[in-house]
Amino acid sequence: MGSFDFITVFFLVAAVVIFLQLRNVLGRRTGNEKPPFDPYSRRESAETLPKPDGSKVVTLPRRDGAEAEEGAYAEVDALVTAGNPLNQSLRRVVDADPSFNPKEFINGAKLAYEMVVVAFADGDRKTLKNLLSRDVYEGFDAAISERESKGEVVKSNFVGIEKADILSAEVKDHEVNITIRIVSQLISATYDKAGSLIDGDAESVAEVNDVWTFARDIRSRDPNWKLIATESEG
């Protein structure tokens, strides 16, 4: 028992000595230590400027007037002549949503247009629901339901889009609305439940002129636009 107590005391004394030595070597503050890493603290910007009172203020990167015109507005100016009312409207959209690119929007709108037209003809409600606002979806759904109740079938072939132009753009509170005219070519024919043609032509290509309005909440992380209004021109 005495031997056990001696060994125990020996190791305790040794541990205390080692601890004191480590503290002298590692625990001494020099004034140059880095603060403990906090994964939840706000990170300082690489550009931190002193304020008059000696404190610091974090500055975010920003464009000056010339850089904004050449950078953020470049795609707008390439699409619509500077000084045009539409150009000014699109610039306001860029101000509200710096990620907005009008050319990319037109390409996306053309793709959405084709998807909606094909989905409507096929009665594909799932696809429509993801692309349309609630009000527009309810209108499309009602038309599909009426068609189904009559036993009518639509057979269509989307040929392509001839032209797509932005007509107007507007920022309302936190929502951006953009109206676009799309001229497309479509082969479409509607048959009754007996198989007789009641509308359209299964052989000829028809030109379709539509004016659609898309919207997006710029506060949302969802980059997708919703179709909120449709109008047919002739």
pLDDT at position 4: 46
The stretch 112-126 carries a mean pLDDT of 97
Say how many C-beta atoms besides its own lie within 10 A of residue 119's C-beta: 20
> Does the structure show a pLDDT above 80 at 65?
no
CB neighbours (10 Å) of residue 157?
Answer: 13
Residue 193 has φ and ψ, to the nearest 5°, of -65, -15
The C-alpha torsion from 69 through 223 and 213 to 113, rounded to 10°, is 110
What pLDDT, on the 0 to 100 scale, is given for residue 234?
A: 65
Query: Looking at per-residue confidence, does 58 or 187 come out higher?
Result: 187
Per-residue model confidence (pLDDT) at position 233:
83
Lowest mean pLDDT among 19-28, 138-147, 149-158, 212-221: 19-28
Higher pLDDT: 20 or 113? It is 113
Confidence of residue 70 (pLDDT cuts 50, 70, 90): low
pLDDT over 60 at 28, yes or no: no
Taking alpha carbons only, the member of 105, 117, 115 closest to residue 180 is 105
Predicted confidence at residue 221, as pLDDT, reads: 87
Mean pLDDT over all residues of the chain? 79
Q: Is the pLDDT of residue 184 over 70?
A: yes
Task: Please determine, for residue 31, whether its predicted confidence score (pLDDT) is greater than 70.
Answer: no
pLDDT score recorded for residue 183: 98
Delineate the domains of the chain, giving CATH numbers in brackets: 66-232 (3.10.450.240)
User: pTM for the whole thing?
Assistant: 0.69
Look at residue 137 in the predicted model and tell me its pLDDT.
98
Tell whether the model's pLDDT for residue 47 goes beyond 70.
Answer: no
The residues, ordered by sequence, that sit 6+ positions from 200 with a Cβ below 8 Å of its Cβ are 188, 189, 190, 206
Mean pLDDT for the stretch of residues 169-182: 96
Instruction: Please identify which residue in the block is written with the tokens 């032509």.
Output: 201
Task: Please answer whether residues 215 and 226 qualify as being in contact, where contact means their C-beta atoms are separated by less than 8 angstroms.
Answer: yes
**pLDDT-derived band of residue 222, with 50, 70 and 90 as boundaries?**
confident
Looking at residue 204, what is its pLDDT?
Answer: 95
DSSP per position, the chain: -HHHHHHHHHHHHHHHHHHHHHHHHHS---S-PPPPP-TTSPPPPS-EEE-TTS-EEE------HHHHHHTTTHHHHHHS-TTSHHHHHHHHHHHH-TT--HHHHHHHHHHHHHHHHHHHHHT-HHHHHHHB-HHHHHHHHHHHHHHHHTT-EEEEEEEEEEEEEEEEEEEETTEEEEEEEEEEEEEEEEE-TTS-EEEEEEEEEEEEEEEEEEEEETTSS----EEEEEEE--
Section 204-211 average pLDDT = 96
Lowest-pLDDT range of 57-71, 91-105, 176-190: 57-71
The pLDDT, as a whole number, for residue 223 is 86
